[in-house]
Amino acid sequence: MSKLSQEEREIIVGSIRDIHDFPKPGIIFKDISTLLNNPKAFRTLMDHLTERYLGYDLDFIAGIDARGFIFGAALADRLGLGFVPVRKKGKLPYTTVAEKYSLEYGFDEVEIHIDAFGHNGSIDGTRPSRVLLIDDLIATGGTAKAAANLIDKVGAECVESCFVMELEFLGARASFPTVLYSVLQI
């Protein structure tokens, strides 16, 4: 299993920008646009994820709308796998399965195409497709939990959920439904 060296960790950490009071007062927004436009940092991260997931015998990477698409699609291409977008409600054109989750005020909803991981979630009908879920950051875990439930609902298996950053103090890990891996703990 690949482990980040101290130097690699510092390259990635140093490329992520903190924006105070965005999108509202009291929030420190972790801005990954400065990681993406830093080729050394982006490559260091993608090399690490590629090494980690090479031996997982995965069939698909599922990325969460919208920053999970960037890391997920890059990783899928490196591993020679298909990529599946988990989208906010109303964006996918074919038959979808949806999952609601609570926000501070009200709720939101994510969707996936019913056949995204093959018919009944299987490519060849013999076993569920093995899926890695990915996003840039896990905070309360509501979004990622809903996405993991969707993978399960369409018949595939979410073998791990991966995040570039985990806001540990929010405690999402304690009740998370799949194995959870985070590159950086904050």
Q: 3-state class of 169 per DSSP?
A: helix
For residue 143, the minimal CB distance to ligand AMP (Å) is 3
Longest dimension (CA), the chain: 51
With respect to ligand AMP, which residue has the nearer C-beta, 75 or 137?
A: 137
**Are 132 and 57 within 8 A, CB to CB?**
no
**Active site includes 104?**
yes
Q: Tally the residues of the chain.
A: 186
Please pick, among 67, 87, 99, 160, the residue that the annotation labels catalytic.
Answer: 67
With respect to ligand AMP, which residue has the nearer C-beta, 121 or 158?
A: 158
For residue 167, the minimal CB distance to ligand AMP (Å) is 6
**Active site includes 157?**
no
**Torsions phi, psi of 80, nearest 5?**
70, 35
Q: In the complex, which residues of this chain contact ligand AMP (CB under 6 A)?
A: 27-30, 64, 67, 135-144
Separation CA 65–CA 109 (nearest Å): 11
Please pick, among 52, 78, 87, 104, the residue that the annotation labels catalytic.
Answer: 104
Separation CA 94–CA 19 (nearest Å): 37
With respect to ligand AMP, which residue has the nearer C-beta, 110 or 118?
A: 110
Residues tagged active-site: 67, 104
